[in-house]
Structure 1
Amino acid sequence: MLRDFSAQALFMGVLTAFVGFASSFAVVLHGLTGVGATEAQATSGLMAVCVALGVSMILLSAVTRLPIAIAWSTPGAALLANSGPIEGGFQTAVGGFLVCGVLIVIAGLWKPLGRMVAAIPTSLANAMLAGVLIGLCFAPAKAIAFNPLLGLPIVLAWAIVGAFNRLYAVPAALAAFIAVLAFGVEVPPGALAGLADSLAPNPEFVMPIFTVAGFVGIALPLFIVTMASQNIPGIAVLKVNGYEPAPAPLFATTGVFSLLSAPFGSHAVNLAAITAAMCAGSDAHPDPKRRYWAPIVAGVCYVVFGPFVGAVTAFVALAPPILIQAVAGLALISAFANSALNAFKEIEGREAAAVTFLVTASGVSFAGISGAFWGLVAGGLMLGLARLTAKRRG
């Protein structure tokens, strides 16, 4: 393994970890607080998911000698943000996280469930994801309306840097957020002292509560979004780059690490899609057999990041929430555009996809169950009805 190590893989691994963390940690924090987590619990969850994905990335890449990139479920975090507080509070959400981890493990070990997930119409899965993301994608415009002097620099940094290199657009927005916070936001007295105190790691155990609402409103949509939007595309990215991994062990391993980290507030870890392309591509090394060092380095970086996320969240808390939501929204615009395109690309089933998108985006819930699940149900019924009538006409 040491002979395979290279400076190129080292650079790409560090860049992968930075881009992956900086581009969407705000989404994770917003998602966890959205389902009732306190600031301390959200910090603990972010720390747990960093360590879990880092260790699993090191383990899988070292064992398989393949560039297996792992990430937290950004679409899943956006789903949580859109779901809103659930009956029973964050303990019920953590129960849902644990059930989601079990389902991911089963999907890896039990082939019929994996086939069921793969059988979900792509248009409906993408429509649900687009409906989940659109709420956060409104945040940049809302931030400018809230205060142009604070919100506009963040959006301009993202747009201008992105015009030259999309890879650095979100880190640029994050840098602008830090500059705005440093020079444009009045920091309360004593806040910096509190920031120093938050450097110490403080994991917080959350006793899970298992309810039907937690299963249907949190676990099931989180499982579907994670499998359809992260795990399955993650396998596709590896195959595009010439690798043929066995999906089942990868799914099962991410499910195990999701289970281990869930009691500390982590929602889910999964195969990466965007950063997987960074680790599996030629930029990581010209020789495909030596690229696995890039995700190993990225995993080490995440494990190092983990204990210090308290300082990150304390720093973010100094700013108006809409500003960090704007950064999160900018990070998700590309994902929203892709999911919307894939949802409405085919004429057949377009109305069903529209129903799924609209019901999910409405944010309404019935019987304590989030709109994401009902959107998928409504779209599935519409699609089934359309196919039934088409058969009768035929």
Structure 2
Amino acid sequence: MRNVFSDISLSAVVAGFVAVLIGFASSVAIVFQAADAAGATDAMKVSWIMALGIGMGATCFFLSLWYKAPVITAWSTPGAALLATSLNGASYAESIAVFIFAGALALILGVSGLFDRLMRWIPLPIACAMLVGVLFNFGVAIFTSLEASPVVVLVMLLAYLISKVILPRYAVIVVLMAGVIMVLFQPHTNFADIPLSIGALEWVMPEWNTSLILGVGVPLFIVTLTSQNIPGVAVMRASNYETPVSNIISWTGVSTVLLAPFGGFAFNLAAITAAICSGDECHRDPLKRYIAGLSAGVFYAIAGFAGATVVGLFSVFPASMIAALAGIALLGTIGANLKAAFDDERYREPALITFLTTVSGVSFFGVASAFWGICFGLLILMIQTIKKAS
């Protein structure tokens, strides 16, 4: 722990905070939609937030500490969207069984080592192109947010440009402060209605419904794998972190199985928020960026225990401010991965196909575009390889 204290930096701690802020603010509404579809009461919804906060906090903190890398986990946002449209008619106890089943599949995939071997078959330029496709709309959102909140976003952009020249290491911190200050001066900002309370976990015994488990549990596992875990590994590989991803997937599966009865529906590797914690803006030294993972773990746990208070707090910040903050925080990552994806001429066309497929958002059989981007990119690469061999 002595080394940990010596490695702590303000930029890494803030990167972890920004990751949690963006993770919660960008998709907590979808989680509540999933909870509504499962038939959760208000108390159960608070239990969901608490279980998710504890699970993400524990996995972020201890995995980052163990591997000395910014291992950032998250709930499955695409999984929540799937649940919001697929659980109608199911009982709450049957929904819990679906979560446990999907978590068990992730555990099996991790323990078997198949996921690690699968990811090593994917060349880095194709993985980087897929990651850029995932992050592309976040960069564009900086400028689309100008229409909704021109003054706030322009001030944040100006703060970023100035801080990149004067204080490049703390650019995201300056942008966050600028955004918060601008929101505080908005006439409609109101903190009075935010509840102050500590959450409580509610255990529910699962009820096993085979058709529901297969019809929703398997798609939940596939969507989480293709939309979250694969891009999450791409972030780590693009930042040169060679952590054993099968072990990490195993722990996310364990966390899901243990916390599912309380509402922890799916845990996985993060992609967007992980990119914030693994770039140069977090810390110049890659060996010290794990502090951002520890920081994210602490803030996730605090957010989980605060429950309703955190949800109310995040609702104060306008969506345009959150979108601009996410995009600005990811600019460095987008630029670096664009270069890595298209720098090598041998992989340029496969990487381009991967990027275009991913950014298109196309979905076949309910499987997300990130998966198909890699598939089409690898297919083009294979065809090129065969052509050159002949």
Aligned AA for 1:160? Answer: I
Separation in 2 of the partners of 1:363 and 1:28?
Answer: 22
**Structure-1 separation of matches of 2:343 and 2:191:** 50
- Structure 1 residue aligned with 2:346: 348
- In the alignment, what sits opposite 1:221? 227
Q: Cα distance 1:133–1:218, how it changes in 2: closer, same or farther (>3 A)?
A: same
User: Would the aligned equivalents of 2:17 and 2:295 in 1 still touch at CA under 8 Å?
Assistant: no
Q: 1:84: how far off?
A: 10
> Does residue 25 in structure 1 map to residue 21 in structure 2?
yes
Go from structure 1 to structure 2 and tell me whether the alpha carbon gap of 1:380 and 1:68 turns closer, same or farther (over 3 Å shift): closer
* TM-score under structure 2 length normalisation: 0.73
- Trace 1:325-340 onto structure 2 (pairs within 5 A): 325-340=323-338
**Whole-angstrom CA distance in 1 between matches of 2:337 and 2:47:** 30
Q: CA deviation at 1:152?
A: 1.0
Comparing 205-214 and 342-351, the one that deviates more: 205-214
Distance change in 2, residues 1:204/1:350 (3 Å) = farther
Deviation track 1:194-215 (CA, whole Å, cap 9, x = no partner) reads 21x1543366889896255434
How many Å separate the matches in 1 of 2:345 and 2:99?
Answer: 35
- What is the aligned partner in structure 2 of residue 181 from structure 1? 183
Q: Does the 8 A contact of 2:106 with 2:253 survive in 1?
A: yes
C-alpha distance after superposition, 1:318-350 (max 9, x if no partner): 343222111111122222222222211211121
Query: Is 207-216 or 349-358 further displaced after alignment?
Result: 207-216
Structure 2 residue aligned with 1:156, among 152, 155, 158? 158
Q: What CA deviation, in whole Å up to 9, does each residue of 1:228-265 have, x standing for no partner? A: 323x567x44x7xxxxx877655533543355456425
**Please, which moves more after superposition, 93-102 or 146-155?**
93-102
Instruction: Show the counterpart of 1:72.
Output: 73
Structure 1 SS opposite 2:346: coil
Kept after mapping to 1: 8 A contact 2:12/2:291: no
Change (3 A) 1:222 1:296: closer
| Correspondence for 2:149 | 147
2:191 aligns to what SS in structure 1?
A: helix
Following superposition, the deviation at residue 362 of structure 1 comes to 1.4
| Percent of residue pairs bearing the same amino acid type | 25
Check whether the contact 1:356–1:376 (CA below 8 A) recurs between aligned residues.
yes
Tell me by how many angstroms 1:68 deviates.
Answer: 5.2
Counterpart-to-counterpart distance in 2, 1:216 and 1:249: 18
Offset at 1:154? 1.9
CA contact (8 A) 1:87 1:368 kept: no
2:142 pairs with 1:136: no
| Residue segments in structure 1 that go unaligned for 5+ positions in a row | 240-244, 285-290
- SS in structure 2 at match of 1:201: coil
CA contact 1:105–1:254 (8 Å) conserved in 2: yes
Whether contact under 8 Å (1:8, 1:283) holds in the other structure is no
Report the alpha carbon displacement of residue 137 of structure 1 after superposing the two structures with TM: 1.1
Are 1:205 and 1:264, in contact at CA under 8 Å, matched by a contact in 2? no
C-alpha offsets along residues 345-367 of structure 1, whole Å, 9 cap, x if unaligned?
21112111111111111123234
For 2:286 and 2:217, the matched residues in 1 are separated by: 47
Seen in structure 2, the aligned counterparts of structure 1 residues 125 and 315 have a Cα distance that, compared at 3 Å, is same
Unaligned runs of 5+ in 2: 37-41, 89-94, 207-211
Structure 2 CA distance, aligned partners of 1:294 and 1:226? 16
Residue 171 of structure 1 is matched in structure 2 by 173
Equivalent pairs, count: 363
1:6 positional shift: 7.7
Cα 1:17/1:33, change in 2 over 3 Å:
same
Matching of residue 51 in structure 1 with residue 54 in structure 2: yes
Cα distance between partner residues in 1 of 2:113 and 2:185: 54
TM-score, normalised to structure 1, is: 0.72
1:166 Cα deviation (Å)? 3.5
Q: 1:171 to 1:61 in 2, by over 3 A?
A: closer
Structure 1, 267-276 or 335-344: larger mean CA deviation:
267-276
Cα distance in 2 for partners of 1:169, 1:309 equals 30
